[in-house]
Amino acid sequence: MTLAYETLSENRSFGGIQGVYRHQSQATGTAMTFAVYLPPEARNRKVPVLWYLSGLTCTHENAMTKAGAQEWAAEAGIALIFPDTSPRGEGVADDPAYDLGQGAGFYVDATEAPWAPHFRMWHYVTHELPELVFNNFALDRDAQGITGHSMGGHGALTIAMTFPERYKSVSAFAPIANPSESDWGRKQLTAYLGADKAAWRGHDSTLLMRERGYPGEILIDQGTDDQFLDLLKPEALAHAMTGRRQPGCFRMQQGYDHSYFFVQTFMADHIQWHTERLG
């Protein structure tokens, strides 16, 4: 595994550094771009890390520019990592639809053609990129939390429930909560993992919640006026959480939609949530 990377940009932000970097990924076989926000505190010591996974069509850039997260991360002394949402490039399979292929990796390791050679975002986000950033930035490997929006909320929840010893805190904004039963999920999981639903079980938050849950508390925010409620299926996850007696907080936020105006509004709460749990 190569740990080399190049710096695309670094901007001072709230006393820290918002950087954008690129490296050659072995997981995806492509160049991958990611962003890291280091709070001022990272000059003195290794700081806790909050992974932020983005949604359909997004790159590393959307949350970095629109989520308003840096100010709270600076105040809390916590780093933010914004990975891309898929491999990209001319040699990478794609689909004309916005919700399949490039920009829509769904945080799985594809086993099916034509996706299998490059679409390995599960491994990338949970193994390869962590190795790179923990070896190169002042980040505390023992204090990791994870969050995300929409498809990224799906990624955050499924990853946290799979590796609860590693991700000590988890939250999500309007996650795709039950992809096995949604048009945001069935198509993609079939394409990437095949038609056998047994292969999907590790990639559906509602199913994982029913089967195993999460050892800590979970925070979910969902807007009541989200234009994608029928695809997100928050009721399935809320039912599974309460049915299991999963500790946590599921908030339906009056009047909010699916946009980054919603994410930004509740970002402070989420960063505080993670900070309290990552110590």
**66 lies in the binding site for a copy of itself (CB under 8 A):** yes
Which of residues 96 and 255 has its CB atom nearest to a copy of itself in the complex?
Answer: 255
Active site residue 149: no
Q: How many helices (H) and strands (E) does the chain have?
A: 10, 9
d(CA 59, CA 86): 8
Residues of this chain, 36-65, that bind a copy of itself according to CB under 8 A = 65
Q: Which residue is catalytic, options 118, 149, 154, 258?
A: 258
Which of residues 105 and 223 has its CB atom nearest to a copy of itself in the complex?
Answer: 223
| Segment interacting with a copy of itself, rule: CB under 8 A, options 49-57, 152-160, 166-174, 259-267 | 259-267
Q: Which residue is catalytic, options 86, 150, 171, 182?
A: 150
What would the two tokens of residue 152 be? Answer: 């990224």
SS (H, E, C) 149-206: ECHHHHHHHHHHHHCCCCEEEEEEECCCCCHHHCCCCHHHHHHHHCCCHHHHHHHCHH
Distances (CA, A) of 103 to 54, 155, 190, 192: 9, 14, 17, 14
DSSP designation for 275:
H
User: Of 268, 269, 272, 277, which one interacts with a copy of itself (CB under 8 A)?
Assistant: 268
Strand, coil or helix: what is 218?
Answer: strand
Sequence-distant (≥ 6) Cβ neighbours of residue 36 within 8 angstroms: 18, 19, 21, 79, 80, 81, 82, 133, 137
Residues of this chain, 175-214, that bind a copy of itself according to CB under 8 A = none
| Segment interacting with a copy of itself, rule: CB under 8 A, options 150-158, 160-168, 231-239, 261-269 | 261-269
| Segment interacting with a copy of itself, rule: CB under 8 A, options 14-22, 48-56, 75-83, 244-252 | 14-22
d(CA 209, CA 175): 13
Burial of 96 (0-12, 13-18, 19+ CB in 10 A): exposed
| Segment interacting with a copy of itself, rule: CB under 8 A, options 10-18, 108-116, 120-128, 179-187 | 10-18
Residues of this chain, 18-37, that bind a copy of itself according to CB under 8 A = 18
Active site residue 123: no
Active site residue 118: no
> What minimum distance in Å lies between the beta carbon of 109 and a copy of itself?
33
Which of residues 68 and 114 has its CB atom nearest to a copy of itself in the complex?
Answer: 68
Positions in the binding site for a copy of itself (CB under 8 A): 11-15, 18, 65-66, 68, 70-71, 223, 225, 255-257, 259-262, 264-265, 268
Q: Which residues are catalytic?
A: 150, 226, 258
